[in-house]
Amino acid sequence: MLTDLIKIFLPTTLAFFLGIFITPLATHFFYKHKMWKKKTRTDDVPLEDFKKVFKERESNEVSVPCVGGIIIWVSVFVTVFLFTLFLYIFPDTIFTKLNFLSRSQTFIPIAMLLLGSLFGLVDDILEIIGKSRITRNSHWYTFGKIVLVLILGFIAGWWFFYKLGMTGIHIPFNGILELGILFIPFVMLVMLSAFSGGIIDGLDGLSGGVLASIFAAYSTVAFLNNQIDLATFCGVTTGAILAFLWFNIPPARFYMGETGIMGLTITLATLAFLTDSVLVLPVIAMPLVITSGSVILQKISKVFRGGKRIFRITPLHHHFEAIGWPSYKVTMRFWVLSIIFAIIGIILVVISR
């Protein structure tokens, strides 16, 4: 037990301090090259009498770097690399136990984090060079992103099905539901759903605090499943997110961007399958669910109710700004909710086995 805890907390701590160390260098690079959006998003324009609430936020979008997620995945990969390197340099030592790179537990989430982050970085770069007409208003580009996420989901599902022998999902309180080959498209659907929650990256500190709680919850779930390598990876990711959050709290030095959101959300979907808790994912990640759901409901309402809105603006966190909540209050209340739902999700996983 003590060895397992050390294996989790030592790399997690290293990832955190690596993130803290590299951030000043990265920040200098981000600002030197003006790596921020050239145009604000206007997907759901607020009602006229609420527009003044968002003037400062929109100003920040075009003056604050949008690629802060690089801090997260670089910290994770450097940590993975260092512990793997130490194993090869010092074999048959404590590093044999501390290494957490394994085929059955961490290979696929690490691969998804890398691929998702790099693809997300392409999206951010297009925003930085002023190609927002492509990233926001082009139907073929949106369709391409969806197809890309589905391809990543197919890769993950194929690995689960053919390499790890996973063919079903655990139904809480009711055993295993066998899906057979349909397991692969189900993975693709879950990954796309998780990715849709990425719009939570909209306020200083919001996405970092929420995602840190979610990944910490999955570290706990993996630990309870005796998946120590996976628990360590989730812990390392949590540590890297917290390092990002250290500099993302108001006033944010940078935003997470697609390079952080895309990698983390699709990785989150793989963790749900690896821990056999995919149906509990909506509970653990409830802030992502309600954020994505608010946008979907708003669009449905506009189509079927003659343009009428449910929310004054979406995503949901901006609605609370519109009704008068300070942004820091919205952020901290989302943090509280994220912690609460993470705890509820962990309890559900434990009692539903």
Could you read off the pLDDT of 264-304 as tens digits, one per residue?
999 999 999 999 999 999 999 999 999 999 999 999 998 88
Residue 40 gets the label, from left (phi > 0), alpha (psi -120 to 50) or beta, of beta
- Residues making up the chain, counted from first to last: 353
Structure tokens at 229: 């390598």
Q: How far apart are CA 224 and CA 231, in angstroms?
A: 9
42 has pLDDT over 60: no
Q: What is the pTM of this model?
A: 0.94
Mean pLDDT computed over 200-213: 91
pLDDT over 70 percentage in the chain: 92
What average pLDDT does range 174-197 have in this prediction? 93
| Token duo for residue 133 | 């007409």
Partners of 178 in beta bridges: 168
**Which one, of 73, 111, 88, lies nearest residue 236 by Cα?**
73
199 falls in which pLDDT band (50, 70, 90)? confident
Which residues constitute the domain of residue 129?
2-351
Taking all residues of the chain, what is their mean pLDDT, rounded to a whole number? Answer: 90
The predicted-structure confidence for 75-89, as pLDDT tens digits, reads as follows: 999 999 999 998 888
- Residues 158 and 181: their CA atoms lie apart, in Å, by 9
Say whether pLDDT at 336 is over 90.
yes
The domain tally of the chain equals 1
The whole-angstrom separation of Cα 312 and Cα 304 is 17
For residues 334-348, give the mean pLDDT. 97
DSSP 8-26: HHHHHHHHHHHHHHHHHHH
